Amino acid sequence: MPRDDSVLSPQSTVRRLPLEGLRVLDVTVVWAGPHSTQLLAEWGAEVIRVEPLKHIQPATRGAENRMTKAATEAMRGNGLLLAGAFPDRDPGERPWNRSPVFNSHAHNKRSVTLDIMEPSGLDVFKQLVAISDVVVENNAPDTIERAKITYEELAAVNPRLIMLRISAFGLSGPYKYYRNYGTQIEAAIGHHLIRSYPDLEPTMTGEAYTADASGGVQGALAVMLALRHLRRTGQGQLIELSLAECFMPYLGEIILDYTMNGRALVPQGNQHSSRAPHGVYPCHGDDRWIAIDVGSDAEWEALCGALSMAGWMEDERFATGLTRWHHRAALDEALAKRTVNEDAFELFRRLQAVGVTAGPVQNEADVYACPQLAARDFFQQVSHPDAGDHLYPGFNVRLEETPNSFRRPACLLGQDNDYVYHDLLNVSDSEYERLEALGHIGTAYPGYYPATAGSGGG
């Protein structure tokens, strides 16, 4: 059982967040792992991020991007600032506490600084493991082996431990030690090729990281399954999650087509295997577009009527769904010429009103102004001590009988050192000072310096 026996207990009648009483140690980087622990923290688990000071974790807190405000301003609009797009495009003195990527998934979490790669840090980490329920990590498998924190080694400290290990290709097989981001995993299983455009090479498709997003959600679900098993049997266990295997079922129809018919799908772009028109079409304004999907003759007639293009219905090329699909390139060209002077939002409402599936392609500003999201209070105002006041995306799901809200903003680096070392581990003041001197404890990266004016990064 978890430390608090009321966790997942059907006998509990007090309205609490479902995972209160559960302690999770978070040794995660980038997206998939942090997203798993984000979901656990949102629903009540005490998630403690274990973060080293001597080694900046890549693509996590954004500390490796030693950008000046001038440099971030200069890069504005080129699509390269996702990890370094600091509030007001200003990294500030502590950019590791101002990363929008990190701050969007680190709310409700705690942070303790500790280097588990060193023997003195490993000893402290094992003390934490002994009083915790779950460990989540998504590092390269050889990193965890070198750190001596595999499941077998940690289960010797806490036999009831649940450990979620997320990796690119799993913990066995010839690809076990390959290091990948979500986008490379998607390339390895064919997703990049399929969603690339017929007239462009796959490298021009752009990054999506869908494997990370799906892996984060499924990782949190896997922890729930293991907690259920723990409650029934008293046994902890290792959870192994391969991002490649986790995401591949999303391509199920395509895989089955090859399995049954021997067809290898060529790049699709915005095309559909049987529908036309099916794509994204230009509208009036700078980089404004609308997505349109027609799946029946009735919808085609409604589209022609809404666009005052009755002549299209007389064109033999567009007479049936099959002929429209075979002449989809010509149809797309004609439709693009017709939509280019339309307002995307007005056309969206007009098409929806006559039963045509359509929607504006929204940018970030559109999403924050979306009346649907506003009506549901999806975005939550969060005040962060280093990043300021901003709206953040809300919860993935809502439980009708369990009201929920953000309890604390994203954790500052080392914000909870005193709580973890003193309150949880009962470390003496002298031992605390010793660990501080060894470089485990702090709230800033040693020797870190902001980029000099005019430099582009470090």
Specify if 383 maps to a domain.
yes
* Domain of residue 326, CATH code: 3.30.1540.10
The strands making up 237-242's β-sheet, listed across from edge to edge, are 109-113, 46-51, 23-27, 134-137, 162-167, 237-242
Q: What is the pLDDT of residue 176?
A: 96
Q: What is the pLDDT of residue 182?
A: 80
Q: What is the pLDDT of residue 377?
A: 94
Q: What is the pLDDT of residue 80?
A: 58
Tell me, yes or no, whether 232 and 317 share the same domain. no
Q: What is the pLDDT of residue 65?
A: 74
Specify if 205 maps to a domain.
yes
Tell me, yes or no, whether 314 and 397 share the same domain. no
Tell me, yes or no, whether 209 and 79 share the same domain. yes
Tell me, yes or no, whether 354 and 385 share the same domain. no
- The tens digit of pLDDT for each residue in 70-93 reads 877 777 766 555 555 788 888 888
DSSP string, 2-57: -SSTTTT-TT--S---TTTT-EEEEE--TTHHHHHHHHHHHTT-EEEEEE-SSSPP
The domain boundary, picked from 362, 393, 419, lies at 362
Which stretches of the chain drop beneath a pLDDT of 70?
A: 1-14, 77-84, 449-458
* Domain of residue 93, CATH code: 3.40.50.10540
Count of domains for the chain: 2
Q: What is the largest CA-CA distance in the chain?
A: 87
The domain boundary, picked from 362, 394, 425, lies at 362
Q: Which pTM value belongs to this model?
A: 0.91
Residues in the chain: 458
Alpha carbon distance 32, 218 (integer Å): 10
Tell me, yes or no, whether 335 and 392 share the same domain. no
Specify if 455 maps to a domain.
no
Q: What is the pLDDT of residue 458?
A: 33
> Hunting for tokens 């087509």 — which residue is that?
257
190 burial via Cβ count (<10 Å: 0-12, 13-18, 19+): middle
Specify if 387 maps to a domain.
yes
The parent domain of residue 316 ranges over: 288-362
Tell me, yes or no, whether 333 and 430 share the same domain. no
Q: Interhelix angle for 344-353 vs 297-306, to 10°?
A: 130
Specify if 268 maps to a domain.
no
Q: What is the pLDDT of residue 78?
A: 65
